[in-house]
Structure 1
């Protein structure tokens, strides 16, 4: 009489397993099971809930960076983008309303997938391809209002202005013909060639450069955790919508020669041999800001005994 009892017990265990774990294979429900949707997650926090938030946003194609559990700028931007797309207050704070809606959504992206550079770009698109577009337009003098990876009204206006100057159909869609023209523009109107760097941009470039004083020197460094000389100039200019070549020598080749540097121009030096090997940003009064190998990002005097004999010239962008 014990055998049926044992059989009944095993059947009960199997049934309970099915009842308790019916959806362990479903990624979104696994997230939901571990997320307290009544909490508030905000910029600067570091914990497992932030990591679960990042995982969910990544499932839905809003977050594309490391799952590190750190609520930084990229996480905040992803939250704001999700909130904007779902009728929530786009404040970048993941509170109960945002978390509740986010974790009740199946892990199937409802967001438009980021397009690659070989796919048409149009208003409403997001991602690296849009950043690349904005950087190129800004470098040609068509101001997009920043390089944020969001194809909004300012980027649309810049694309249309460029298309008009190139004799293309000005529909604001970056298709094959517009991409080809961006890579090799036939002509740019005087309005957009007269001054690639505006007075406002110059002030912003200098302010952004000064904000990085004290950043250590790192060979090959391109981020605020450490810069080399051309990584520093490239980073500061990119923050202001202008794409520079990566190396000091390439920046020298790309710029327009000037007889004397003005604020915001790049100044170049030969520190090893006779060719260009160092670059900095001229800030006026005979001074430039640069990522030096010995002191990191500092302000230096162009007329001191080290820099003056090594100065090669200045280029504007």
Structure 2
């Protein structure tokens, strides 16, 4: 149960977020009475969500001049011969669920995460020197080095990886140790990888890179596990113990809600993706989906936001 001194903060939201209140549709009281944990109120399609914009921005940022490419990683949104080599290696090792087409999409990212999990590597879906070396690639690095490695030329691409740990920020307020410095984009990508996973109350198995089902707090646990951050199992535990409170959420932060079913304090949460939208577990839709938080239902139950980065 969230500490009582947090009550004063639960209505502190960004000006842009609050401005949407006057423009949102009215949801009847019968809807509010019947909605439960992970309500489907406001659920929208991928195409209607902010995710295409986020992925387009990431792809645009990944583009570099063809004469010289100096990248610290091969990741979702990339394309070319380097991606083909990664896909071929994954296929040869029995981890491929996608075609060898040179396009690093979500299926390839999930294959990389599955491989990293089995090899004891950082599970982030990104191919750096450690993952490339384990795949049989040309990069000379050890899986647990964690330090900068020498750049290696491969098909005209210079691949470098630097340490993504920060001793000064190695733990959050609850004392949980972060094994990686997660960015909002990585958190959103991890949550996006769970879209379509079936909803099941109480479902979550730590360490499972391919969950067959998740509940609402299980989605949060799964997402942050992919980026190396351990959080409490329940919404109330996360609200009381993990991360830091923020006045307004940024992509990758967790947004919390109360009163979504008969339990005190925080009862539901989702991964904020920008534009007043979140990825959450919808019991009504029966799967992990994107929801529009600007509708009355979510506004009325909004508790606050926290950053676990």
Shorter-chain TM-score: which interval?
A: 0.3 to 0.5
Larger Rg: 1
Greater share of helix: 1
Determine which structure has greater relative contact order: mean sequence separation of CA pairs < 8 Å that are 6+ residues apart, divided by chain length: 2
Question: So what's the TM-score if we normalise by structure 2?
Answer: 0.42
Q: TM-score, structure 1 length as denominator? A: 0.41
